[in-house]
Structure 1
């Protein structure tokens, strides 16, 4: 079963105590990228990507939707709309306001190699689409995880 962005909110809340300026933020690793078979109203490829981490022994996840602005260039669909089970806590053990939480999450996301993972998934999904007038994604083409990507690269 593949994990989707909407599933992250069902994970237990994971508190992340923000480090001082000299300590790094949590490191997330790629889990899965979904390429939707349908394109947006402007004909662009769209999807979501999910990343995981361990924070103080707890599972932490973050996901966001992306849009292929043009071939090989992907952007966050909405940097203010990311899904995570992480609650960022600042000085004096006070939970950060929502806007500040988004800023921290955006800092983490912009430090990840997520665009490369998404572009790779788009390439694999494109290979699995049959050419012709009735082109349809091959079974499973919309969900490209690390195992599928690795398998496609060995071909």
Structure 2
């Protein structure tokens, strides 16, 4: 069990998203709760209005789905203690 944080810089400043994960059978890792993402991002609709939390969670899950976070977690879990 652990937490993953992905972050980056843009012309508007730093942005990040974090979530908890858990080890599953056969070495798979999975998000604990896809609705419990933590971020400093704010999503807007086409009219420039802030999206509701549920709509934002859907957008964040779409982003997380594109990240290779599971491979990075699996590599860290396989690394010798103190080297990750």
**TM-score normalised by length of structure 2:** 0.91
Shift in Å, 1:55: 3.7
Unaligned runs of 5+ in 2: none
Distance in 1, Cα, partners of 2:26 & 2:38: 25
Shift in Å, 1:70: 1.6
Q: Show the counterpart of 1:73.
A: 28
Alignment equivalent of 2:52, drawn from 86, 97, 122: 97
Summarize the alignment of residues 1-155 of structure 1 with structure 2, pairs less than 5 Å apart: 46-124=1-79, 127-128=80-81, 141=82, 148-149=83-84
**TM-score normalised by length of structure 1:** 0.51
Shift in Å, 1:72: 2.1
Distance in 2, Cα, partners of 1:99 & 1:55: 25
Shift in Å, 1:92: 1.4
Superposition misfits of 4+ residues, deviation over 4 angstroms: none
Distance in 2, Cα, partners of 1:106 & 1:78: 10
Q: Deviations over 1:26-74 (max 9, x none)?
A: xxxxxxxxxxxxxxxxxxxx00111012244310011100011123211
Q: Which has the higher contact order (CA 8 A, sep 6+)?
A: 1
Distance in 2, Cα, partners of 1:92 & 1:109: 25
Shift in Å, 1:120: 0.8
Unaligned runs of 5+ in 1: 1-45, 129-140, 142-147, 150-155
